């Protein structure tokens, strides 16, 4: 589903990655961890086509990203769901309207989409907040709404950047359960997190691998996590 081949990323005179290679097979579940500033968000942005590496190649769903036309990039993004750290809601739109935005942008409207929206809001436990505005939501509610929006188009791949970073433990477990459920439905999941306790909790319930970023390189973490 996702393949990085000898990828390097630099910002000015600072090299963040050098010669990073990675393969995430279809239906896999990976956690991405590492110290603050190690590049977790940058790696998520590479996988979501929000940025290009300075060198090396990124392949998504069997296609090399650098060779895609703008139309093909737009089509590919419909197969990716992304949960950003900052949620990126439009505050004057309701929760339901924010969650439905991917469908509205792609012109996928109608009764089936409305039913899917209702199902998604119920799935993340926000049916009662559908008409609320984003500023009225708690941190956990915002993260669950962001997750619902990310899967509105039934993507093949879900990329989540610190989805439990600003919520309590109980809500972290709830969000983790939603991610595990998506993975069991066949979705490829890459979740960046600094929470090692959350990773340990997940590894007892799903076949997840842990990738660690450190010193510009990426490695598979040991079984001790």
**Average pLDDT over all residues of the chain:** 90
Each residue of 88-99: pLDDT tens digit? Answer: 899 999 999 999
| Residue 11, burial from CB neighbour count under 10 angstroms (0-12, 13-18, 19+) | exposed
Would you state the pLDDT for residue 220?
Answer: 81
- pTM for the whole structure: 0.92
* C-alpha–C-alpha distance, residues 127 and 142, integer Å: 13
Per-domain residue ranges of the chain: 1-79+158-168+190-225, 86-155
Indicate whether 224 pLDDT > 60: no
Identify the H or E element spanning 20.
strand 14-24
* C-alpha–C-alpha distance, residues 113 and 197, integer Å: 37
Indicate whether 184 pLDDT > 90: yes
Would you state the pLDDT for residue 222?
Answer: 61
Indicate whether 79 pLDDT > 80: yes
Q: Is 103 strand, coil or helix?
A: helix
Query: Domain 1-79+158-168+190-225 - what CATH class?
Result: alpha beta
* C-alpha–C-alpha distance, residues 205 and 165, integer Å: 21
Cα dihedral sign, 202-197-148-157: negative
Report the pLDDT averaged over residues 93-120.
Answer: 88
Would you state the pLDDT for residue 178?
Answer: 92
Among 85, 220, 81, CA closest to 143 = 85
Site of tokens 């990124």: 58
Report the pLDDT averaged over residues 187-192.
Answer: 95
């Amino acid at each position: 589903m996702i393949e990085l081949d000898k990828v390097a990323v630099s910002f000015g005179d600072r090299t963040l990655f050098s010669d990073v290679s990675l393969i995430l097979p279809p239906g896999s579940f990976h956690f991405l961890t590492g110290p603050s500033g190690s590049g977790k968000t940058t790696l998520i942005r590479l996988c979501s086509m929000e940025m290009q590496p300075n060198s090396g190649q990124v392949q998504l769903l069997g296609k090399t990203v650098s060779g895609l036309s703008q139309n093909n990039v737009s089509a590919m993004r419909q197969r990716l769901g992304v949960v950003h750290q900052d949620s990126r809601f439009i505050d004057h739109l309701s929760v339901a309207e924010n969650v439905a935005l991917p469908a509205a942008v792609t012109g996928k409207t109608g009764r089936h989409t409305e039913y899917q929206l209702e199902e998604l809001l119920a799935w993340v436990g926000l049916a009662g907040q559908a008409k609320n505005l984003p500023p009225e939501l708690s941190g956990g509610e915002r993260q669950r709404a962001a997750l619902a929006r990310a899967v509105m188009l039934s993507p093949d791949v879900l990329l989540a950047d610190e989805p439990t970073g600003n919520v309590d433990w109980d809500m972290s477990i709830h969000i983790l359960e939603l991610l595990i459920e998506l993975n069991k439905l066949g979705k490829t999941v890459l979740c960046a997190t600094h929470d090692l306790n959350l990773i340990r909790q997940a590894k007892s319930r799903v076949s997840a691998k842990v990738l660690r970023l450190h010193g510009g390189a990426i490695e598979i973490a040991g079984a001790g996590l």
